[in-house]
């Protein structure tokens, strides 16, 4: 196929397939990956595996590879990540401000866990007193969260809470 035929083919393909455009770097990455490097079925299988484990912490076998993957993801999605972080920071600062302007007392396990989580995130809350053991409330919250995640129907009988979840970034046995 000569250059003129190739350009005609591309023009017709673009027209026939909907002339789709995007400024999203993740869409561009996936498009190029599927067009030039991996079969779409392989990419779909990876996406389905990711969806199965989303909202869970994944423990990767190869830390160096995981760090590089994280670096690439941050480079691709830096603007969106920055905007999301800005919005989250604004929300947390508002929560901190509201909690600091009252006579905050930790009366419930959830309030104790929230105060510890805010402190760990770098937004400590000044409180008058605590009727709770905040450290213990936070520890219990983390244990309960893991138990709740592992009780979801898609995980029951597949993993114990302490078992390493399989990594989905190429770490295959």
The pLDDT of residue 37 is: 92
**Residue 161 DSSP label:** T
DSSP letters, 6-64, are HHHHHHHHHHHTT------HHHHHHHHHHHHTS-HHHHHHHHHHHHHHTTS----S-HH
Arithmetic mean of pLDDT, 153-160: 53
**For range 143-147, the mean pLDDT:** 78
The domain limits of the chain are 1-54, 78-160
pLDDT digits (tens, 9 = 90+) for 34-88: 999 999 999 998 888 888 887 777 888 898 999 999 888 888 877 777 777 788 8
150-166 residues labelled b (16+ CB within 10 A) or e (exposed): beeeebeeeeeeeeebb
**pLDDT above 50: residue 161:** no
């Amino acid at each position: 196929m000569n250059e003129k035929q190739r350009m005609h083919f591309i023009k017709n393909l673009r027209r026939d397939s909907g002339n789709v455009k995007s400024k999203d770097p993740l869409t561009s990455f996936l498009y190029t990956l599927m067009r030039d490097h991996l079969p779409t079925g392989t990419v779909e299988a990876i996406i389905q595996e990711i969806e199965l484990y989303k909202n869970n912490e994944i423990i990767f076998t190869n830390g160096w590879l995981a760090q590089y993957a994280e670096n690439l993801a941050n480079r691709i999605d830096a603007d969106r990540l920055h905007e999301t972080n800005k919005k989250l920071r604004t929300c947390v600062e508002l929560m901190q401000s509201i909690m600091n302007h009252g006579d905050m007392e930790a009366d419930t396990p959830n309030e104790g866990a929230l105060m510890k989580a805010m402190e760990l995130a770098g937004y400590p809350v000044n409180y008058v007193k605590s009727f709770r053991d905040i450290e213990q409330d936070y520890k219990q919250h983390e244990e309960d969260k893991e138990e709740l995640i592992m009780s979801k129907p898609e995980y029951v009988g597949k993993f114990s809470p302490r078992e390493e979840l399989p990594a989905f970034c190429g770490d295959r046995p």
